[in-house]
Amino acid sequence: MKKTDKTNPTGSDAKQQDLNLNKSDASDQFLTTNQGVKINDNNNSLKAGERGPSLLEDFILREKITHFDHERIPERIVHARGSAAHGYFELYKSLEQYTKAEFLNDTSIKTPVFVRFSTVAGSRGSTDLARDVRGFSVKFYTQQGNYDLVGNNMPVFFIQDAMKFPDLIHAVKPEPHNEMPQAASAHDTFWDFISLMPESMHMIMWAMSDRAIPRSLRMMEGFGVHTFRFINSNNESHFVKFHWKPKLGTHAVVWDEAQKISGKNSDFHRQDLWEAIETGNFPEWELGVQIIPEADEHNFEFDLLDPTKLVPEELVPVTIIGRMVLDKNPDNFFAETEQVAFHPGHVVPGIDFTNDPLLQGRLFSYTDTQLSRLGSPNFHEIPINRTVAPMHNNQRDGHMRQEVNTGRVAYHPNSLGGGCPFQAKIDEGGFVSFNERIDAQKVRERSTSFADHFSQATLFYNSQTPVEQNHIIKALRFELGKVETTAIRERTLGLLSKVDKTLAEKVAKGLGSTVPSTLEKPINHGVGADANDNQEPTTVKQSLESSDALSMLKNKTLSNTIATRQVAFLCADGVSAASVNAMKTALEAAGAQAKIVAPHLGTITAEEGDTIVVDQSYQIAASVLFDAVFVPAGEGILTLMDIPEVPEFINDSFKHCKFIAAEGEGTDILSITNAKVKDHNADEGVLTSEKKGEKNFAGTFIKMMGKHRFWEREKLV
């Protein structure tokens, strides 16, 4: 029998080879660049010394990130789902001794800002309530040029080196063979990556905490993540960490609630931000800084350049320096929210970078990304990106150029244009990078000071209240319960045991598994892998056992205000207008919003004959869209017993630890719920009064609502 010539096939063999031409199988193969060069180290960018800056000549890093930046057109690869608003920043006190940035020196300046909030993993059409990191990016339009503080609602990140960023996002995105799941980390590829990256464990604690499911964009903190530098007029350097503290406090929903909100209103956060601004309830944050003298760089139990570490506020207090108010919604979503281009490399004199290897990679990546997404090097001319400071340089032409440059000179130096535009001296506001001494060999290595992957993860977990710790355990059970590969779950449990053994055991119990006694090392090959990838993680004893600032329920940003909280009034024809109006007046005086929910839209008639306008019907309303519930008095309110959505509404409110109030006949409605809500009292977050108009009833309810949730009720449910 004649053998088939595989080098020159014909017929069906030729067709099959044609179909297979672009398929690749990486099994038992070495990592290579796109040019076929074998990669010795895929975890570390090329640096000038192990703690030095990343080098532009790192062709492997540039190729990897360039390809990653251009994978999606035109949607952002990460942070695609966003909401934004205009506002202003005001400085409380001058920071002249630390920085020469003018907007941080002059308290009379009101600096315009544009702020974009976002989820990270999902596409533009995904839900607002995914469990995810939230982007928190602020563009300051200063008189010295644009300054972008591009951060998140968590102060640390998953990885230490930008070389791993494409890998992280590829892992968390929908799996490429079936494009599932959307906007979710609860799947095999994400946890496969995490289980092999011990450096991620601190961020995992944050991502599995309630910080990942905020009640509102207006109720979350923001962080610059990286350590930056302040440079003053004497060219003196201080390290700086940035913090945004919300006026309304830090609040979250629970996971069951988040999933239901996604079904009822996937635009929940976007709508909440928009409506708050439209109704004049302008969101507000205070800007704080942690300032660290250059001489103290190595005085901590962690490395300031490590983006998986934070500086505890007990070690370096946050100094509040100003406030930001968002007071105007965009006029056009695409022109502003979608086309805004942030970049951590957009700095002004007085603010500079450090050698954080994740930040160093971002300084290249963001410009490259904008070139792909916005299609032109002229993205700075789009109105939302355009600086308010004069802009003069010798750049010309390019796709979608809008600036009409006159004259024949487009180069420097020149004499034909009178030498213009001139270079600016330092005292004329010219930007000069900090004169940091660099004396090192080119290496692909990571400093041993980055090797402690568990201490701050433990610190975070220990800092949480029992309620918050329980939420982390439940989140991990949910996420790992979606993982189909047993080995991935076991590796992750092993890493969790290094954070807290009890935590790991409780998660394992929920998975029907056990905690492994040893950690499995990553599968790697090559000299680079042996030298760097398998660097043994260490644990450094911390001087702090816990930090209140890391707990949402204990930290100083917890606010007792009920401003902008949404309260559902469960009503029907025959409700008592006096009962409705008394509670509504008291709540609105405290800044909350009362919404009338009834069997139908339009109006209902009160027992006194008054007409009450209905905001939502029971068919479209849901408990998860409100912060608290009130059932007023009135004979007609008893008809709610025949509406199936009503007990479900109250049951969910009780389950999600929200405060509930009822008076008069309204208390009877609480008795038809599964939880027999009527049997609970004010000490359990349920306020009732058998009679209408009881003195201080509304005031007591408002005081209860100030706690946001009655978390102790979780023990009862």
Task: Give the residue numbers marked as catalytic.
Answer: 79, 152
CA atoms of 432 and 426, how far apart (whole Å):
7
Q: Which uninterrupted H or E stretch holds 491?
A: helix 486-499
Please name which of 352, 355, 506, 499 lies closest in space to residue 434, comparing C-alpha atoms: 352
Q: What is the b/e burial string over 612-634, where b = at least 16 CB atoms within 10 angstroms of the residue's CB? A: bebbbebeebbbbbbbbbbbbbb
CA atoms of 24 and 225, how far apart (whole Å):
37
Lookup: tokens for 383: 């109105």
CA atoms of 471 and 553, how far apart (whole Å):
12
CA atoms of 185 and 200, how far apart (whole Å):
14
- φ, ψ at 315 (rounded to 5°): -85, -40
The radius of gyration of the chain from alpha carbons, rounded to an integer in Å, stands at 28
Q: How many CA atoms lie within 13 A of 53 on its CB side?
A: 17
Q: How many CA atoms lie within 13 A of 541 on its CB side?
A: 1
Q: What is the b/e burial string over 260-276, where b = at least 16 CB atoms within 10 angstroms of the residue's CB? A: bbbeebbebbbebbeeb
Query: Which residue shows structure tokens 């024809």?
Result: 573
Q: Is the dihedral of CA 674, 675, 680, 686 positive or negative?
A: negative
Q: How far is CA 625 from CA 83, 136, 260, 414, 553, in A?
A: 19, 23, 9, 63, 21
Lookup: tokens for 505: 């055991």
Per the CB < 8 A criterion, the answer to whether 175 and 189 are in contact is yes
Q: How far is CA 640 from CA 22, 308, 531, 647, 648, in A?
A: 63, 52, 69, 9, 12
3-class SS of residue 669: helix
- φ, ψ at 67 (rounded to 5°): -60, -45
Q: How far is CA 438 from CA 57, 152, 442, 608, in A?
A: 16, 30, 11, 81
Q: How far is CA 271 from CA 82, 164, 329, in A?
A: 12, 34, 11
Dmax (CA) of the chain: 101
The one-letter amino acid at 224 = G
Per the CB < 8 A criterion, the answer to whether 509 and 498 are in contact is no
Please provide the distance, in angstroms rounded to a whole number, between the alpha carbons at the two ends of the chain.
Answer: 75
Query: Which residue shows structure tokens 């635009």?
Result: 267
> What contacts 24+ positions apart, CB below 8 Å, involve 688-694?
688/661, 688/662, 688/663, 689/662, 689/663, 689/664, 690/663, 690/664, 691/663, 691/664, 692/576, 692/578, 692/579, 692/633, 692/663, 692/664, 693/578, 693/579, 693/582, 693/663, 694/663
> What contacts 24+ positions apart, CB below 8 Å, involve 616-620?
618/643, 618/645, 618/646, 618/649, 619/645
Please name which of 118, 89, 111, 204 lies closest in space to residue 157, comparing C-alpha atoms: 204
